[in-house]
Amino acid sequence: IMSASLSLEGTQTVAYLGPPATFTHLAAMRKFGGSADYVSVNSIKDVFDEVERGRMRFGVVPIENSTEGVVNHTLDLFVDSPLLIYGEVMLEVSHHFLSKAQKLEEIKTVYSHPHALAQCRNWLETNLPSVNFAEEPSTARAAERCVDDPTAGAIASELAAQLYGLNILRSRIEDNINNFTRFLILSQKGAEPTGRDKTSIIVSAKDRVGALYDLIRPFSSHGISMTKIESRPTRRKVWEYLFYMDLEGHQDDDRLKKALAEVRSRCLMMKVLGSYSSHQ
């Protein structure tokens, strides 16, 4: 539904965590297709900045991985950002071993993002037990490192192999085949209701016994399913926490609207990050 409505609005400008051929780039292409104008930026904060300043209409950032957990930096940036969540993309992450070399025996150093290295740990220990490992800010940057070094290998995407002219020595080397990453679409405006929405909020609880229970009880009493909750330090006061929650429904739905009003009356701060179509 979202992709169809976007196609009626002309060329879209989309910032993503680069360089080209990162999994964030793949997620952006999955959502916006081949007709969008994509701009690669160097950090998650840069994605937020590009959209906040109006230079890009949309931004794409990672929020969580099924094996490595939540991307805390993304959660932290939402606290002070005026941006809204416009949509989400769920991408199956398949890691490939890339190199200019022809054989694994030629590899001396393996480059990749820390999460990718962790997700392929068993394969690496079995097949490349004596090589050096070097962390890079992205899987695509790791692929770049291999272009002029035939003793280097990278864990990256198939698109990275095509873009940087590398051989795929092994395919799908991730330890867990059910490896998915969830990405969020950022925008200055919210999405239209679709009838199958979710709502994301950030809440700060009062410092007292039972405070968290008081925050989540209204959702139960109004029949609202909470699909996710994460805690983060506020960084403003010691032992004070923010809670990130995903809830079923649109913020304008009657039941969720009533539940949110009750939560707002019980917390120090509540911020609705957006209501958007839930990935099916």
pLDDT tens digits for 9-53? Answer: 567 999 999 899 999 999 999 999 988 999 999 999 999 999 999
Task: Name the active-site residue from 22, 139, 181, 199.
Answer: 181
Task: Name the active-site residue from 23, 32, 78, 183.
Answer: 183
CATH superfamily entry for domain 96-170: Periplasmic binding protein-like II (3.40.190.10)
2-93+179-187 and 96-170 have identical folds = yes
Q: How confident is the model at residue 239 (pLDDT cuts 50, 70, 90)?
A: low
pTM of the predicted protein model = 0.88
Domain boundaries, the chain: 2-93+179-187, 96-170, 197-277
The angle, 0 to 180 degrees and rounded to 10, between the axes of the packed helices 254-266 and 211-221 is 160
Question: How many other CB atoms are there within 10 angstroms of residue 48's CB atom?
Answer: 22
CATH superfamily entry for domain 197-277: ACT domain (3.30.70.260)
2-93+179-187 topology per CATH? D-Maltodextrin-Binding Protein; domain 2 (3.40.190)
* 243 flagged as catalytic: no
Q: How confident is the model at residue 164 (pLDDT cuts 50, 70, 90)?
A: very high
Burial track 92-131 (b if 16+ CB lie within 10 A, e otherwise): ebebbbbbbbeeeeebebbbbbebbbebbeebbeeebeeb
* 183 flagged as catalytic: yes
The model's pLDDT over 179-223, given as tens digits with 9 standing for 90+, comes to 899 999 999 999 999 999 999 999 998 777 888 898 999 999 999
Determine the Cα angle at 154 with ends 150 and 159, to 5°.
Answer: 105
